[in-house]
Structure 1
Amino acid sequence: MSGSLLALMERHPGDSPALKYRQTATAPLVTVSYRQLQQLALAKRRQAANLQQQAVNIRYRDIADFICSLLAYDGFCSALYLLPDHNVAPAGMLFIASETMTDQRLPVDSRWYLATSGTTGTPKWIGHSLQQLTKTVSTRASGNTLCWGLVYQPFRFAGLQVVLQSLISGACLIDASDGDIEQRFDTLVEGNVTALSATPSLWRQFLFSGKATALQLQQLTLGGEIADQPLLNRLSQLYPTAQLRHIYASTEAGVAFAVNDGKAGFPRDYLEQGYYDLQFKVDAKHHLWLKNSALFGPELATRVDAAGFLDTEDLVELTPERVLFLGRASGVINVGGNKVHPEQVEQVVLQVPGVAACRVYGKSSSILGQLVMAELVAEPDTVPEELIGRVKAHCQQQLQRHQIPFKIQVVAALPLAGSGKQVRIV
C-alpha cells in the first residue's frame, strides 16, 4: 500500500464518522468526521512547516490529537517517533514547534519508530515504513461498515494496527484505551463496536465482566499473547457468526501472519510452504525464526542470521499438524535444572472449568533454584478451595512433576500492563 496516510484517507466520504472518543472519563462520546480530521491535520502541518524533512516525536492530548499528528507528519517529516508518555525523546530529536508557514506538500518517505519496551531501562526503537505497517490492512468494501474498538494504547504496535486498519478502511474508531475495565467496556457498548482486537488477557477480562453478550461483534482478533484453545472455543461459541482470527506480530518483526481456522498455534505446513512473503524455520533450541521480503533494520542486526531470518525469541513445540507457542525464551522457570514454560502451565490450568484467568511465575528456592507458583481468578459462584483442588488434580494428570505448581492461590484480579498483556513476575 503506497502513499501517505493522509492521501489514503482522502478517498473516504468526508462526512463519515472517523472517530468517537471521550474528552474526559465521564463525558459523552464526541464524534469527529474524516473531513474534520483532515482539516485539523493540515492545520497542524502548516503550524510546523519548519519541521519538513525533520524527525519529530508524537506526544498527544487525546486520541484525536494523536491521529491528527500521524496524518500531519507522515509523508512530511523524515521520522515519526511514537513516544510512550513516560519515555524521553531519543538524542537529537526535534520537538514540534509552532510557526505558521505555507503548506508545502512535498512527499517524504517517512520512517515510523515504535518503542519495544517502556517499563524498564532504555527502550529499543524499531523503524517501519507505512507500507510495512499496513501490509495486512484490509481494504475490502465491507470494511467501512465496521466500527473498531481501540483497547490498546495507540502508540504501541498493536494499537497502531487498529488505528491504521480503521482509518484506511474508512471505518469508525471507538477509543476505549483508557479507564478501568468496566469504563472501557461501557464505551465499547455505547459506541456499538462491531470489530475488536485485544490480547487474550483482555478478552478474558471482558468475558469475566459478564457483559460480553452486549457486543454484536462481526470480527474478533487476538494478539500479543498465546491464544489458547479454550479461549478460542469460548469466543467462537459466544460470537458464532463473527470472523475469528489470532495474529502473531511484534514491534521488531512487524505484522507477521494471521490464523483464521479457530485452532491454537499455526499450521505446520507454514514451515515448508511459507505464508505469503513470510518464511519460517525452527532451530534446535525450538526458537521460531521469520524472514520476509522487507529487510530488517540495523536495530536487529544481532538477531538476524546470514540468510536473513530473525530470531523471534519465541519458543515453539512441533506437533504433526501444528506449531504451538510455548512462551518467551527469556521467561523460562528453572526448577532443579528442568525448564518450565509458564505460559504452557497456564494453558493447562485454563482448561479447568471455573478458572477465569491464570498467572504462573517462578519463586526463588535455595534448594531447586526456582519453584512454580500459580495465581487464579475464579469464575463467579466458584468455591476457591474446590477450584484449587480441581486445578491440582488436572495438573497432576497433564503436566510433568517439575511443571506442577508448588502453590496455587486464588486472587481477585490479575493486573494487566499498558500493552494489555498480563504483568509477568520475574
Structure 2
Amino acid sequence: MSLFAHLKTSGFTTTAIDGSVNVSYASLIAGAQALREKHHNLKGQSLAISPVDIDELVLAITAFDGWCKALYMLPDNSLALPEGVCKWPLDDRPEDSAFVLTDTTTERDTATISEQNTRWYLATSGTTGTPKWIVHDFASLSRAIKTSSHTQQLRWGLSYQAARFAGLQVVLQSLLSGALLIDCSSGDIEQRLQQMIHHEVSALSATPSFFRQLLMTAKLSQLNLKQITLGGEIADQALLDTLSQLFPRAKIMHIYASTEAGVGFAVADKKAGFPSEWLQQTRSGLKLKVSDAQHLMIKPEQQGFLENRVVDSEGYIDTEDLVSIEQDRVVFQGRACGVINVGGNKVHPEAVEQVLTQHEDVVLARVYAKTSSVLGQLVACEIVANTQDTQGLKKKLLAHCLAKLARYQIPSQFKFVSHLANQSTGKLSR
C-alpha cells in the first residue's frame, strides 16, 4: 500500500502541517490527486524531490508514492542523480536535462490506474565516505510507526532535514497519526527552541548533540515534552539521566536506526545501550548479532531491498557500529571507521566524549585525532564549558580522565570553544 492509498483509508480526519494551518486528509488527498492528473506523464518515471517547504514536500510524497517508479529524496542539490531522473518542482529542471517527459498513460482518470510499489532512495550522510543512495519503500519506512489516540495528540517538532531518513520518520509519524508537525529544522538553536515553545511542541526526535545544545540555552524546561526520542548518535547515560530528571513524565527512548539498515529498534528503559538478551531474540522484526570484528549486525525478517548494503552470508546487514558486551548490556562504542590509532592502541572518540561530558562543567565535547610523528596519532578534544576558568577546568578534566580512561585515551590537547558545529543531519561534525 502506498502513502496515498494509506491516507485514503485513514481513520483520521485532519492533520496540521507547520503548526499553523489545519489540513483535512480529504483536501490532502484531493491535492495529491490533482498533482497526479496535472503531471500524468510522471507515471512510472523516476523523480527527485529537491528541498521545498514542508507542506509542499508532504503533498509531493503523498502524490507520487505509488505513482512514480522511484523517488529520490534530496536533502540538498549537491548530490549526483542517476541519468534520466527529473527534479521536482519541475520548474527547477535544468534546460539541458536529459529527462524527456513521455505520456505513459492512455487515460487521464488517474483514480482508475493501479498503483505500483515506489522505490524511495535516501542518501547516507556521507560522514564516512561518498554518500550512497539506499533504497526503501513505504512499507519499510513506516514499519515502526505507531498510531493511537495518544500519538494523535502529540505536537511533533521536526529538528532533522525532512528529506533525510530521520526527518522522514518524523514527517511520516506525524502524518500517519494525525498529529501536528512543526518544522524546526532551520535557524540557530535559540530560534529553533523559541519556535518549539511558541507552538507548544510536546514530542521531539533529535540527536544527542542537538539535545545538549538545547540544554545549553537553559530554556528547554519551558517545553512540556511527553515524548523524547534520541537517535543518530550514542545516547550516553549522563544525557539520559539529565532528560529523565528534567521531564520525569516523558516517555524517553533512544532509537537505533540508520539509512542503510532502516528503522532498527528502540530502547525505552532509560539505560545506555540495549539488553544483551536481545541478541537471542527477534525485536521489532529484526535479528541482532555481534560479529567477530565487534560490529553490530542487523537482519530484518522482511529482507526487502538490499542494494548498496554490506550483507554477510546469513543476510545480516553490517551497521559498521562497534559495540561491546558489558555485563547484561550491549554498549555502543562508536563508528568502526572513526577509531584513533595511538601507537597501535585503538581509541573510540565517542567513548572519550562520554567521559568528558560526565564532568559537570562540560556541556559538549568533540574528540578527534591529532597527527603525531612518534605515535602516528594522538587524542585531542574541543570543549564547550559552562565556566570561564578554563585553565582550572583543564586540570580537573585531566584528573577526571585519569580516573576513568587508559593513558593512551586521555586527550593530549584541550581546546575550549564557544560552540561546536553540527552536520546537516544533526550529528556532531567530525
Normalising by structure 1, what TM-score?
0.92
Contact preservation (8 Å) 1:259, 1:266: yes
**3-state DSSP class of the match of 1:344?**
helix
Over 3 Å counting, the alpha-carbon distance change for 1:296 and 1:406 in structure 2 is farther
The whole-number CA distance in structure 2 between the counterparts of 1:174 and 1:74 is 23
Q: Distance in 2 between matches of 1:232 and 1:12?
A: 35
Instruction: Please state if 1:378 is matched with 2:385.
Output: yes
- 1:89 aligns with 81
Alpha-carbon offset, residue 395 of structure 1: 0.4
- Structure 1 CA distance for aligned equivalents of residues 129 and 82 of structure 2: 13
CA RMSD in angstroms, aligned pairs only: 1.9
Question: Relative to structure 2, which stretch is displaced further, 100-109 or 234-243?
Answer: 100-109
Contact 2:51 2:163 in 1 (8 A): no
- The SS at the match of 1:42 is helix
C-alpha distance in 1, partners of 2:190/2:199? 14
1:362 aligns to 2:369 (yes or no)? yes
1:400 CA displacement: 0.4
Tell me how far 1:148 sits from its aligned partner: 0.5
Corresponding position: 1:243 with 2:251: yes
| Equivalent runs, 1:235-274 vs 2, <5 Å | 235-274=243-282
State the partner residue of 1:24.
none
Query: 1:285 and 2:288 equivalent?
Result: no
> Which of the residues 28, 39, 63 maps onto 2:30?
39
Aligned partner of 2:346 among 325, 334, 339:
339
Cα distance change, pair 324–120 in 1 and its aligned pair in 2 (3 A): closer
Q: What is the 5 A alignment of 1:174-213?
A: 174-213=182-221
- The residue aligned with 2:164 is 156
* Deviations, residues 23-75 of structure 1 (Å, cap 9, x unaligned): xxxxxx55545444333322222221111111111114311111111001011
1:387 corresponds in structure 2 to 393
Could you tell me whether the CA contact under 8 Å between 2:36 and 2:110 is conserved in 1? no
Q: Deviations over 1:90-109 (max 9, x none)?
A: 22213455899834132111
Q: How much has 1:307 moved relative to structure 2?
A: 0.8
Within-5 A mapping of 1:3-42: 3-10=1-8, 11-14=10-13, 16-20=14-18, 32-42=23-33
Segments of structure 1 that go 5 or more residues without pairing to the other structure are 22-28
Equivalent position to 2:318, from 311, 314, 321: 311
**Cα distance, 1:392 vs. partner?**
1.0
Aligned equivalents of 1:219 and 1:414: distance in 2?
26
In 1, Cα distance between equivalents of 2:80 and 2:28: 28
Amino acid at match of 2:353: E
Q: Match of 2:230, as an amino acid?
A: L
Q: Is the 8 A contact 1:20 1:32 kept in 2?
A: no
2:286/2:298 contact within 8 Å kept: yes
Q: Which residue of 2 aligns with 1:111?
A: 119
1:420 paired to 2:426 = yes
Q: Check the 8 A contact 2:123/2:132 in 1, yes or no.
A: yes
8 Å Cα contact 1:147/1:195 also seen in 2: yes
Q: Determine which of 120, 140, 150 is the counterpart of 2:148.
A: 140
The number of aligned residues is 412
TM-score (norm 2): 0.91
Matched, 1:70 2:61: yes
What are structure 2's unaligned runs of at least 5 residues?
A: 92-100
Against the structure 1 CA distance between its residues 65 and 310, is the aligned structure 2 distance closer, same or farther, given a 3 Å change threshold?
A: same
Deviations 1:100-148 (A, max 9, x none): 9834132111111101135797531111111111111011221111110
Taking the aligned partners of 2:3 and 2:29, their CA distance within structure 1 comes to 10
Question: How many angstroms apart in 1 are the aligned matches of 2:186 and 2:141?
Answer: 24
